[in-house]
């Protein structure tokens, strides 16, 4: 059964109200589209509340998730348990907080994932945990971040992962920990100053590729690659 959910929430300054969406969805095939416009937007699980977040829970074999949060002080928490998954995430505003896990319990193996994150704003924090075992076969992850003071943390465990990240802004911090069997590719294009990149790639049976183009001043770059699957962190 295929399920489609489309929700638009709009909050105006006159009402000074926060938008809150809570989702707990299971089914073989789902397509979910959520959009919030205003400030203090929240997307999470059924037990989520301001100051006490639980993640949105999606469970199925094939899923498409489209998230748009437009405003400031937005929070998204999500646990995606699926075999095939496509996600589109658009955040426009400041002080946004995004945390997502894909198949954290290895229920379906997260064989194929296509994740796109587009951010415009400042003081944003992102945390992504993409699969937790090399059962996951293919990942295409694309980041576009326009703004300042951004922080990205990503843990990726895939046989084959392609990760493109384009950051245009100041004071950016990127931490990537990628491992698996068949190798991965990480491309980072950063423009700005006071940057910090810590990258660890540790595939066991194939090569890892890394390309960094960085324009700016100040910062720390640390890269560890180990084909034995046991790279030492920075």
In order along its 234 residues, the chain shows pLDDT tens digits of 444 444 444 333 333 347 888 888 888 888 899 999 988 888 888 876 555 678 888 888 888 999 999 988 888 999 888 888 899 999 988 888 888 888 777 777 677 889 999 998 878 888 888 876 555 678 899 999 988 788 899 888 877 788 999 999 888 899 988 876 666 788 999 988 888 999 888 876 667 888 999 887 787 888 887 766 555 556
Considering only the C-alpha atoms of the chain, give the largest distance between any 2 of them, rounded to a whole number of Å.
58
Q: What's residue 177's pLDDT?
A: 87
Q: For the whole model, what pTM was predicted? A: 0.84
When divided into structural domains, the chain yields a total of: 1
Check if the beta carbon of residue 94 is closer than 8 Å to that of residue 120: no
Q: What's residue 8's pLDDT?
A: 43
Flag whether 232 is in a domain: no
Give the C-alpha separation, 69 to 206, whole Å.
38
Q: Rounded to the nearest 5 degrees, what angle is found at the Cα of 72, between the Cα atoms of 71 and 73?
A: 140
Flag whether 234 is in a domain: no
Give the C-alpha separation, 48 to 138, whole Å.
31
Q: What's residue 68's pLDDT?
A: 94
Flag whether 17 is in a domain: no
Distances (CA, A) of 11 to 17, 21, 56, 214: 6, 13, 21, 38
Flag whether 230 is in a domain: no
Flag whether 233 is in a domain: no
Q: Domain residues for 87? A: 2-12+24-225
Tokens 């990127």 found at: 174
Flag whether 187 is in a domain: yes
Flag whether 110 is in a domain: yes
Q: What's residue 14's pLDDT?
A: 32
Flag whether 164 is in a domain: yes
Residues 188, 189, 192, 193: is their CA dihedral positive or negative?
A: positive
Give the C-alpha separation, 66 to 87, whole Å.
6
Q: What's residue 115's pLDDT?
A: 92
């Amino acid at each position: 059964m295929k399920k489609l959910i489309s929700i638009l929430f709009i909050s105006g300054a006159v009402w000074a109200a926060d938008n809150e969406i809570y989702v707990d969805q299971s089914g073989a095939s789902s397509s979910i589209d959520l959009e919030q416009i205003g400030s203090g937007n929240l997307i999470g699980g059924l037990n989520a509340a301001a100051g006490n977040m639980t993640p949105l829970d999606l469970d199925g074999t094939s899923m498409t998730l489209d998230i748009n949060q437009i405003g400031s002080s937005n929070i998204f928490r999500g646990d995606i348990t699926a075999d095939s998954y496509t996600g589109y995430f658009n955040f426009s505003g400041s002080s946004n907080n995004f945390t997502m896990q894909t198949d954290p319990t290895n229920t379906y193996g997260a064989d194929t994932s296509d994740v796109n994150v587009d951010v415009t704003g400042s003081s944003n924090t992102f945390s992504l945990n993409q699969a937790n075992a090399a059962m996951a076969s293919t990942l295409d992850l694309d980041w576009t971040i326009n703004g300042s003071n951004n922080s990205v943390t990503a843990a990726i465990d895939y046989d084959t992962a392609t990760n493109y990240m384009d950051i245009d802004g100041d004071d950016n911090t990127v931490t990537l920990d990628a491992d698996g069997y068949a190798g991965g590719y990480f491309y980072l294009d950063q423009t700005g100053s006071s940057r910090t990149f810590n990258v660890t790639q540790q595939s066991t049976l194939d090569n890892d590729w890394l390309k960094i183009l960085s324009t700016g001043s100040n910062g720390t770059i640390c890269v560890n690659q180990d084909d034995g699957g046991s790279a030492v962190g920075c």
